[in-house]
Amino acid sequence: MGVNYLLKVRLKEILESKPEYTQKRLAQETGIQPTTIAEIANNMRTTFNRSHLTKIAKVLQITDMNELFKLDEDE
């Protein structure tokens, strides 16, 4: 059988590399609910709102969406 992969969002890692941004500040600047930002950052979501990802990328100046995601082997 083949290997299964999970698509994960690297938001938590990105925020840790940008100390000027907290989840709260990101929520304020994007207009996204803080609970939604936390769920995305902690990979608790199985679907993503495209407009949310676009807003997050714009605020964090991410120009390549590959920076925002990674593939992990399913355990």
Asked whether residue 1 is assigned to any structural domain, the reply reads no
Domain count, the chain: 1
Asked whether residue 2 is assigned to any structural domain, the reply reads no
- Give the pLDDT score at 17: 96
- Give the pLDDT score at 7: 87
pLDDT mean by block of 10 residues, the chain; 75 residues: 84 96 98 98 92 96 93 79
Domain that residue 40 falls in: 10-68
Spatial neighbors of 16 by CB under 8 A, at least 6 apart, are none
Asked whether residue 14 is assigned to any structural domain, the reply reads yes
- Give the pLDDT score at 52: 97
Asked whether residue 27 is assigned to any structural domain, the reply reads yes
What pTM did the predictor assign?
0.86
**Which of 49, 23, 19 lies closest to 37, judged by CA?**
23
Q: What is the CATH number of the domain that holds 45?
A: 1.10.260.40
